[in-house]
Amino acid sequence: MEAIERGSEALGYRQLVAIARGDAELRLGAGALARLANGRAIVERIIKSGERAYGISTGLGALSEIVLSGAQQTELSRNTLMSHACGVGAPLSVPATRAIMVSLVNDLCHGKSGVSLGVVAQLVSLINRRITPVVPSQGSVGYIVHGAHIGLALIGIGDVSVDGRRIPAADALETAGLKPVELGAKDGLCLVNGTRCLTGLACLALAEAEQLADWADVTGALSFEGLKGQLAAYDEAVLALKPHSGLLHVGRRLRALLADSEIVAQAQGYRTQDALSIRSIPQIHGATRDQIDHVRSQIDTELGSATDNPLVIGTPDAYRVISNAHPHGQSLGMAMDLLAMAVAELGSVAERRLDRLINPAVSTLPAFLVQEGGVNSGMMIAQYAAASLAAENRLLAQPMVTDNHITSAQQEDHLSLGTPSALKCLQVIANTRHILAIEFLLAAQALEFYPGLKAGRGTGAAHALLRAEIPPYVKDRFLSPDIALVARRMGETGWAGAIAAAM
């Protein structure tokens, strides 16, 4: 298996996602180890000097004015994990938790947190041995809670997932030949602070959104073909008059997907102008791609950032320890709200397209895409499912970062709510994937009513891939498994790669 090294340079989001999904292992390079050693030496110097430093020799949050003795400083690390691990709700998925763990390692390796090397080594061991803490999904206002649950697993407390089984963390460590890590001063705070949770989830969301943007072009092109779309709206010269990069990119993809389509060629002049859900695919999908580009920039910056509090700067002989606000996740919180809106729009316009496919008043196709209507309902209720998901997305796409609550006795009186924003963004993505899967099924069924006419290069390849696993609908049959299969294929690379190769 490929090993990705976290050295002097920060991980990229694609590297983080590859490790989170189990496609690569994580290694610590010499540059990262040197930075970790330097940061820890500074913390040790602070402890030895007896100076006051937030979270090292003092309590946390509103208790930051309480000065702690040497033994209490170490005890605080364990107590921080115990008291902060108060998440509720269903557990995060294994990839989501692993993404947070990898993000945590990446951030700590900037060397500005002062964490003990043993803590980072234990995190890497759990990642590579597929020992994943069971982390409740809810309870974070931006950071803290998820990291605390992960931290407890490092010391053998709580449950973990191994090969799909939920077992006590202590048992998993023993089986793997690992010992509970010994926490030192500040280690507990290092594990719960910063934007690591938000960043890890955001990397997953970005990777999945990029994938969905490509699929939306494919399913949109299939619907365009099935609805006898007028290709002039995608004319290269016309689109160049509104040169947003995303718009131009989608225009090129649509022209490639539909190239050599006999269905489209025969339909030219059929109507003067298509409905906006068909005519404006470059404008709508392109706007989503432009927002994805912005989110990517925000994530890249965050991965290259040290987000702990306090941060240690310099060397053990010439250092500063500085309380700061880098754990505030405002930039990524806004980015996740934006991404949720952008992806929700992909689902919203797809639902409008697939609704047209089943309506003979606007499609000229058989009602609900089935020949024997009445005894067969065809794709009638599949559209209901898409409408339900689109409605849920509209609610989830409301911004979270503009909300606010006060925590820690007003010590933390402005919060990004970035982690819950990332979690709802991931739900929007999951919903949209299912909407696009439904559009794929319906649009492919529409092409069955153009016998003898060849589909486009890309759309034809997509149709053939689908039909290799799912036959046309002649009579009603169980639809839910078909939707699930297509959604699963959309999350893989095989179909997408074959379609790209055909264009």
CA distance 470 to 295: 35
pLDDT of residue 417: 78
Digit-coded pLDDT (tens) for 373-384 = 888 888 989 999
Q: What are the structural domains of the chain?
A: 3-193 (1.10.275.10), 202-502 (1.20.200.10)
Residue of 54, 143, 319, 450 marked active site:
54
* pLDDT surpassing 90 at residue 285: yes
Amino acid at 382: A
Identify the CA nearest to 415 among candidates 328, 340, 310, 323.
328
Per-position b or e across 323-354, b if 16+ CB within 10 A of its CB: eeebbbbbbbbbbbbbbbbbbbbbbbbbbbbb
- 502 within 8 A of 461, measured Cβ to Cβ: yes
Packing angle, helices 117-128 and 30-49, rounded to 10: 140
First-last CA distance in the chain: 31
Reduced DSSP (H G I as helix, E B as strand, rest coil) percent helix, strand, coil of the chain, to 5: 60, 10, 30
Q: 159-162 and 165-168: which strand pairing?
A: antiparallel
* pLDDT surpassing 80 at residue 409: no
Model confidence, pTM: 0.95
Identify the CA nearest to 14 among candidates 211, 307, 249.
211
pLDDT of residue 414: 62
pLDDT of residue 413: 57
* pLDDT surpassing 70 at residue 407: no
Residue 118: both structure tokens together: 């043993």
Amino acid at 432: T
Owner of token pair 């949109």: 220
Instruction: Compute the mean pLDDT over every residue in the chain, rounded to the nearest whole number.
Output: 94
Q: 25-28 and 3-6: which strand pairing?
A: parallel
Identify the CA nearest to 221 among candidates 11, 482, 455, 481.
455
Give 329's pLDDT tier (boundaries 50, 70, 90).
confident
Q: Pick the residue with more confidence: 423 or 65? A: 423
Q: How many helices (H) and strands (E) does the chain have?
A: 21, 9
Owner of token pair 């809106």: 341
Does residue 234 have an active-site annotation? Answer: no
* pLDDT surpassing 80 at residue 276: yes
Packing angle, helices 418-447 and 480-490, rounded to 10: 120
pLDDT of residue 68: 76
- 241 within 8 A of 200, measured Cβ to Cβ: no
* pLDDT surpassing 80 at residue 390: yes
The distance from CA 39 to its chain's CA centroid, rounded to whole angstroms, is: 31
Identify the CA nearest to 393 among candidates 343, 335, 337.
343
Least confident of 198-212, 215-229, 308-322: 308-322
Identify the CA nearest to 440 among candidates 263, 207, 212.
212
What Å distances lie between residue 344 and 39, 82, 96, 101, 223, CA to CA? 42, 37, 20, 28, 18
Question: What does the pLDDT average to over 357-375?
Answer: 89
Give 369's pLDDT tier (boundaries 50, 70, 90).
confident
- 109 within 8 A of 308, measured Cβ to Cβ: no
pLDDT of residue 62: 63
Strand (E) or helix (H) holding 281: helix 281-303
Digit-coded pLDDT (tens) for 437-496 = 999 999 999 999 999 999 999 999 999 999 999 999 999 999 999 999 999 999 999 999
Digit-coded pLDDT (tens) for 200-219 = 999 999 999 999 999 999 99
